Amino acid sequence: MIDNTHSFRFFQRGPSPVVRLVFFVTLSLLLMFVDARYRYLESARSTLSVLVSPIQSLASLPGRIWRDVGDYLTLQSSLKNSNHALQTQHVVDAGQLARLQALELENKQLRDLVALPIRDTYTTTLAEIIYSERDLFKRKVVINKGADAALQAGQVVMDDNGIVGQITRVYPWLSEVTLITEKDHVVPVQVLRNGLRTIIFGAGDTSQLALRYMPISSDIQEQDVLVTSGIDGTYPAGIPVAKVTKIERDAAYPFARITCLPLGGVDRHKHLLILSAQAKLPELPPSEVSVEDARNAKAKRKK
Amino acid sequence: MALHNPNKTEIQRPVGNLYIFSSIVIAVLLNGLPWEGVALMLRPDFVAMVLLYWCMHKPMRIGIGMAWAVGIFADVADASLFGQHALTYTLLAFGGVVLHRRLQMFDLRQQTTQVLGLFALTYTVYALMHWLIDGDVVWGYFLGCITSTLMWIPLSLLLQGLRQIRVGRDS
């Protein structure tokens, strides 16, 4: 039907458009299936990204120039103001740091006394966001450091106020950070006030977070600060994540509807900190599992 | 004037491969500009537009295979699933190649309505793929389909005009 338009074929043109369409559509669907189900194509992706990244960096150039010109033309008064604010902040921070060091020392001594392992310490890498949200469907940003700075997928990304996200893909010079506000992105947290443990979910379409499975009776209040609990072994404990903004307790539902706002500048900042090492948790005790298995096996045999 | 049947008023000039290639690279560049929020929703898909233009005007040179390859690069650039853009651009190129005789008969305003259908198809397929894999659809995404269509006339005139300038300088 389609070939009616050129029924006389004077020249050899290779396969007809329909054949090509079917071939390439099948190829695309196959690639999508493989990419969605398995992670075989990451090396191909990082190879191709070497070709794409010059175009991308060229595309981010106008924005960078605009910002640099803006930086250059800042008023002296605003510089002075910000300098003053930073100095005040520095004095406050220095005081707190001194206290923290004293506490850390004391903590170490106490832990030595009861022979508990010392908590992991982390060094951080500074990176800059090149661009944010390339895809409307995703809450992701791309930062300017990749495999060259020894980044790995799974590392935690934060700013000075709290958790921002997690590295999900590493290219040679770039990496992709999934924000905590991505749909169904999960962070285990605890309420700073009373240590109540729970899990916080990204909402996806807005820059909000939600606590989904909190019973109505749970002790949580507005303005409560949630920090990471460190239970999953991915996010180190004690980093601020979010603040509870609204709680709806409706007796018709078993769970309260709790919305939170992230404390870290998930949508704001240009510079991010990447924690260099992932937390290493001791292995799960295997004995209990095997005992459990054995019991199950026995139960099955009895049946 | 060019709006009414440019084929009859102007002689079709030859187009260099470099010209086609650079137009696609510039389109990738435009897509890669730091669009955010509402601007990202309203951003026309420049790559799709340029591909469709060349599929319509030079179906022998830029066809389905080329569109697929460009789509793979777009997938890497957007960090979408491998094949997601490739699939949509393949469909778009197929539409362009199959309809190129009919589309060339129309003037630019009539072309726009046809092009809207093609863009709507590709945007729907992209959103559908996303819905199948992640289970949600951002409706604002479809705004890009309308802006792409609105940008069709300026883009066609621009690519046509640049061709004339280039050839005029050469001869």
CA atoms within 13 A on the CB side of A225: 12
Please indicate whether residue B19 or residue A114 has the higher confidence score (pLDDT).
Answer: B19
pLDDT at A182: 83
Contact status of B95 with chain A (Cβ, < 8 Å) = no
Task: Please list the residues that pair with A157 across neighbouring strands.
Answer: A165, A274
* B160 within some domain: yes
Q: Do A31 and B86 touch (CB under 8 A)?
A: yes
Q: Do A21 and B64 touch (CB under 8 A)?
A: yes
Task: Please list the residues that pair with A271 across neighbouring strands.
Answer: A128
A149 to chain B, closest Cα gap in Å: 20
* B20 within some domain: yes
Give the angle A163-A165-A169 at the CA atoms, nearest 5°.
150
Domain extent listing, chain A: 77-118, 125-279
- What's the Cα-to-Cα distance from A49 to each of A4, A120, A171, A227, B77, rounded to whole Å? 41, 34, 7, 36, 7
Name residues 116-145 of chain B within 8 A of A (Cβ). 129-130, 133-134, 136, 138, 140-141
Alpha helices for A216-285 (secondary structure H):
none
The domain that holds B84 is classified in CATH as 1.10.1760
**Mean pLDDT, each 10-residue run in order, chain A (303 residues):** 52 77 90 81 80 80 80 82 91 89 84 67 77 69 83 83 85 84 85 87 78 84 86 80 87 85 73 72 60 54 51
- What's CA A100's distance to the chain center, in Å? 27
* B33 within some domain: yes
Residue pLDDT, tens place only, B115-170: 899 999 989 998 888 888 777 777 878 888 899 999 999 998 898 888 777 655 55
Domain holding B114, by residue range, is 6-170
Q: Do B83 and A27 touch (CB under 8 A)?
A: yes
Residue with tokens 């220095």: A94
Residues in chain A closer than 8 A to B147 (CB atoms): none
Who among B41, B83, B141 is closest to A28 (CB)?
Answer: B83
B77 to chain A, closest Cα gap in Å: 6
pLDDT at B120: 92
Q: Do B129 and A32 touch (CB under 8 A)?
A: yes
Q: Which residues contact A30 (CB under 8 A, 6 or more apart)?
A: B83
Q: Tell me how far apart the alpha carbons of residues B54 and B97 are, in angstroms, rounded to a whole number.
A: 9
Q: In degrees to the nearest 10, what's the CA dihedral of A274, A275, A277, A281?
A: -130
Q: Do B79 and A142 touch (CB under 8 A)?
A: yes
- Mean pLDDT for B45-55 is 91
Please indicate whether residue A269 or residue B86 has the higher confidence score (pLDDT).
Answer: B86
Q: In degrees to the nearest 10, what's the CA dihedral of A21, A22, A28, A30?
A: -170
Domain count, chain B: 1
Query: Which residue type sits at B147?
Result: T
* B1 within some domain: no
Is pLDDT of B50 > 90?
A: yes
Q: Do A17 and B91 touch (CB under 8 A)?
A: no
First CA to last CA across chain A, in angstroms?
A: 66
A153 within 8 A of A278, measured Cβ to Cβ? no
pLDDT at A283: 67
Q: How confident is the model at residue B7 (pLDDT cuts 50, 70, 90)?
A: very low
Q: Do A62 and B33 touch (CB under 8 A)?
A: yes
* B24 within some domain: yes
Q: Name the DSSP class of A150.
A: T
In which element (H, E) is residue A50 found? helix A42-59
Stated pTM of the model: 0.68
What architecture does CATH give domain A125-279?
Beta Barrel (2.40)
A213 within 8 A of A262, measured Cβ to Cβ? no
